[in-house]
Amino acid sequence: MTDLDQQSPPPPAQQIDPNVEVFRMMVVEGARIVSDGNVRQEKERTQQAREETERLRIATDRGEKQDRATHRKEMFGLGVVAAVIAVAMFSGRWDVVTHALAAAAGFVGGVGYHHASKG
């Protein structure tokens, strides 16, 4: 007898244990769920970032409009003080001119402080 005759028959086709197959499917499904969850989280983060950007843009627009309105009020106030000083000077009321200059200095100082405190 030769060695070839003594060999055992080839093993039957290898079958995959059903438990291993179930485990493999669970791993694949778990990876898919995690991947889907990551995509969903990324979409939510992107949407939140868009919403935050829009809120900041709106707030910035409001702030700029408020700044322009404040600036108009400040310029109007300075114009009024300048008119009072001019009228008082032409009428010779130097006591009024003195008070108006003091008011103007205080007004300008207050405006400067307001702008400096805003950063």
Contact (CB, 8 A) for 108 and 78: yes
pLDDT digits (tens, 9 = 90+) for 74-114: 888 888 888 888 888 888 888 888 888 888 888 888 877 77
pLDDT in tens, 9-35: 656 666 667 777 777 787 777 777 777
- Nearest-angstrom CA–CA distance, 105 and 110: 9
* Amino acid identity at 117: S
Instruction: Write down the residue that tokens 């669970």 correspond to.
Output: 26
- Give me the numbers of helices (H) and strands (E) for the chain, helices first please: 3, 0
Q: How far apart are CA 101 and CA 95, in angstroms?
A: 10
Q: Which of 42-46, 85-89, 114-118 has the lowest mean pLDDT?
A: 114-118
pLDDT of 71: 80
- Residue 80: phi and psi, rounded to 5, are -65, -45
User: pLDDT-derived band of residue 62, with 50, 70 and 90 as boundaries?
Assistant: confident
Output b/e per residue, 76-107; b: 16+ Cβ within 10 A.
ebeeebeebbeebeeeeeeeebeebeeebeee
